[in-house]
Amino acid sequence: MTALFTDKVVLVTGAANGVGRAIAEGFAAEGGRVFATDVDAANGRDVVAKIVSAGGNATFIHADLTDDAAIARLFAQLEQAGDALDIAVNNAAIDIEVGNQAGLWEPETMDRVFGINVMGVFNCMRRELRWMERQGRGAIVNIASLAGLVGVGGKPAYTAAKHAVVGLTRAAAIQFGPAGVRVNAVCPSAIRTEMLRIQGVDDEVMKSVHPLRRIADPSDIADAAIWLCSDRAQHITGHPLVIDAGYMAY
């Protein structure tokens, strides 16, 4: 079977762990030339080493997406590597409203969460969109959350930030669709990652509120992102794709 993304250039942010790691590995397995970026250099390089050892094509670029100057350097490195940017998956995010921070409505928490979850996405997107607009093609997927479509008690900053990501997705899809650029979002519920473990939620309790009685694996989200960026989804843009084991069916 022919790989979906042979020689396509793919940028994945937040690629060092969890969902981002699965996305980077998934695109590489489908023939993509993956540029993986993260503030976590050690794990980011480990992801790339494993992709390369499996026969894939991947490069790690260290970047702190709370720093627009660092994002500018990231894209300068991408431009030096070639003239195409076919796919971008904006995954990097944090969720710090747990334990004593949950539900406090602190401005400092809002600033920190928005700094990476919204401004990091925005500052990557504005470069990705212009690049893709110039070349007349491209696909962007933003990893949002079910919290981008519904409210989550105790997480005002995360909920507001993920709603913003869905809003950016829709606005970009409308503006850049005529240039041949598709922009979608993936909105997962619970995913079995370190971020979920830190929340301290019991597995069985979490499963009980999902009709399929399962928690998503990072590969479930990667598969959705891969599909949205493929020609099999060429008529889809501006869509927040829910990956939730049936949670929203209630």
Asked if the model's pLDDT at residue 121 lies above 80, the reply is yes
Q: Where are the domains of the chain?
A: 9-241
Across residues 142-155, what is the average pLDDT?
95
- Of 204, 211, 220, 115, the C-alpha closest to 157 is 115
Look at residue 75 and give its three-state secondary structure.
helix
Look at residue 144 and give its three-state secondary structure.
coil
Residues 6 or more apart in contact with residue 86 via CB below 8 angstroms: 5, 8, 9, 10, 137, 138, 139
**Model confidence band, residue 196 (pLDDT cutoffs 50, 70, 90):** low
Q: What is the pLDDT of residue 1?
A: 67
Predicted structure pTM score: 0.95
Asked if the model's pLDDT at residue 126 lies above 90, the reply is yes
- Secondary element (H or E) of residue 113: helix 107-117
Q: What is the pLDDT of residue 148?
A: 98
Write down how long the chain is. 250
Across residues 112-127, what is the average pLDDT?
98
225: Cα separation from own chain's centroid: 8
- Of 193, 166, 188, the C-alpha closest to 244 is 188
Mean pLDDT of the chain: 94
Q: What is the pLDDT of residue 114?
A: 97
Question: Across the strands, what pairs with 87?
Answer: 10, 139
User: Active-site residues: which are they?
Assistant: 158
**Model confidence band, residue 219 (pLDDT cutoffs 50, 70, 90):** very high
Q: What is the pLDDT of residue 2?
A: 82
**Model confidence band, residue 95 (pLDDT cutoffs 50, 70, 90):** very high
**Model confidence band, residue 27 (pLDDT cutoffs 50, 70, 90):** very high
**Model confidence band, residue 88 (pLDDT cutoffs 50, 70, 90):** very high
- Secondary element (H or E) of residue 46: helix 41-53
Structure-token pair, residue 23: 């996305």
Across residues 90-115, what is the average pLDDT?
89
- Of 174, 149, 173, 153, the C-alpha closest to 162 is 149
Asked if the model's pLDDT at residue 200 lies above 70, the reply is no
3-state secondary structure 214-236: CCECHHHHHHHHHHHHCHHHCCC
Asked if the model's pLDDT at residue 100 lies above 70, the reply is no
Q: Which CATH class is domain 9-241?
A: alpha beta
Q: What is the pLDDT of residue 250?
A: 86
CA–CA dist 98, 225 (Å, integer): 27
Asked if the model's pLDDT at residue 180 lies above 70, the reply is yes
Asked if the model's pLDDT at residue 233 lies above 80, the reply is yes
**Model confidence band, residue 205 (pLDDT cutoffs 50, 70, 90):** confident
Asked if the model's pLDDT at residue 195 lies above 90, the reply is no
Asked if the model's pLDDT at residue 246 lies above 80, the reply is yes
Q: What is the pLDDT of residue 203?
A: 79
